[in-house]
Structure 1
Amino acid sequence: MSIVLHAPPTPSAPGLLLRPWRVGDAEALLAAYRDPVLRSWTRQPVDTPADAQAFLRRSRQGWAANRRFSFAVLEPTPDGEQLVAHVLVKEVAPGRPAAEVGYWTAAPARGRGVAPRAVDAVSDWAFARFAATGLTRLELLHQVDNAASCRVAEKSGYVFQDVLPARPPFPRDGHRHVRHLA
């Protein structure tokens, strides 16, 4: 896939490169999932090389089905690039006005504005790509006790809409934040 997005640098952080996941990303994916904080917020941990390959296979299948679009978020380093986050748009379907945005941030990148810039870039891309097929609203969902995700949503232009009741597999109530096509 040749889709590459960019989030501009800030005075204190380099620009970001967002691209579909590649087979060669397995090791970086495993390293990111060793973080206990990330693991506490995700439903499908990546513990083994087989888990990483399954994650990457689902990513490719989502792109191929034109319904789920996963991006690896990379930051430049002196040696190349470092995985700093993951952002996806899911539940995209022609004629469906809403889709969902999800993300996680790798431990070394937290608190540096990576997630809001990446979510913003992918949100802009989703509206540009799918507005003609009916997409008018993106939703970002998170558990009520995830204050960092509330901040990411707000910084990315997502407005708090409502509280969603807990339901499996989510053990706590959740927040729904919404961003509309401008």
Structure 2
Amino acid sequence: MSNDLRAAAFSAGPLLLRPWRQDDVPALVEAYRDPTMRNRLGHFVTDEADAERWLRVQAEGRKTGTRFSFAVVDTERGDELVGNVVLKYPHPGSGSAEVGYWTAVWARGRGIAPQAVEALTGWSFTAFAEDGLRRLELIHQEDNKASCRVAVKCGYAFAEILPARAPWPLDGHLHVRHAA
């Protein structure tokens, strides 16, 4: 994989999806203060040290080609950090990967998640086409109606119910999208 791909940034309307940077730490800590988001995610960022560890995990994933996490910023609002999207590609060449995302509480209801997930989906299928990436999965807990709507808006069809397993206390939904 080329260094150009690892450093990739791309736009989705007024949104810019770019690699995370050190100067994102304060906004990352602020985003994780939202109790709803903390309830939905399996990890926590409570202070700057946690945020810096989180950034190192994202950078290492990009370096190894197993995780491509993008800060989502709104260029029409002074590059305000509004979310995160990630391609989790644990077995490059397997033909399958998982997408994930979160939207900061102050940015919800503006259509950011569907725009960012759709942009990541297109980038993923293009960037990893030669590796044989043909299937993307989006998983959320069954009570997360907003994530279900985002999945459907982005063309991820409901595939099955996944049984609860730690750290998730509820059953989940698996949504799938195939490359065109």
TM-score range, shorter chain: over 0.9
Residue aligning to 1:114 = 112
Q: Structure 1, residues 40-97: CA drift from partner, whole Å, max 9, x if none?
A: 111111001110000100010000001100000000255x311101000002433201
C-alpha displacement at 1:5, in angstroms? 1.1
* Residue pair 2:66, 2:92 contacting (<8 A) in 1 also: no
Quote the sequence identity (%): 53
CA distance in structure 2 between the aligned counterparts of 1:130 and 1:84, rounded to whole angstroms: 26
Provide the rounded CA distance (Å) in 1 between the counterparts of 2:76 and 2:134: 36
Structure 1 SS opposite 2:71: strand
4+ long deviations beyond 3 Å: none
1:77-127 residue CA offsets vs partner (Å, 9 max, x unmatched): 55x311101000002433201100000000111111100000000110000
Aligned residues: 175
Confirm whether residue 6 of structure 1 aligns to residue 11 of structure 2. Answer: yes
State the Cα distance separating 1:31 from its structure 2 match: 0.7
1:30 maps to what in 2? 29
**TM-score, L = length of structure 1:** 0.93
Tell me what 1:45 maps to. 44
How large is the RMSD of aligned CA atoms in angstroms? 1.1
Instruction: Structure 1 unaligned segments of length 5 or more: list them.
Output: 9-14
The within-5 A match list for 1:1-182 is 2-8=7-13, 15-77=14-76, 80-182=78-180
- Unmatched tracts of structure 2, length 5 or more: 1-5
TM-score (norm 2): 0.94
SS at 1:157's partner residue? coil
Contact 2:65 2:89 in 1 (8 A): no
**Contact 1:99 1:138 (8 Å CA) reproduced:** yes
Q: Secondary structure at the match of 1:142?
A: strand
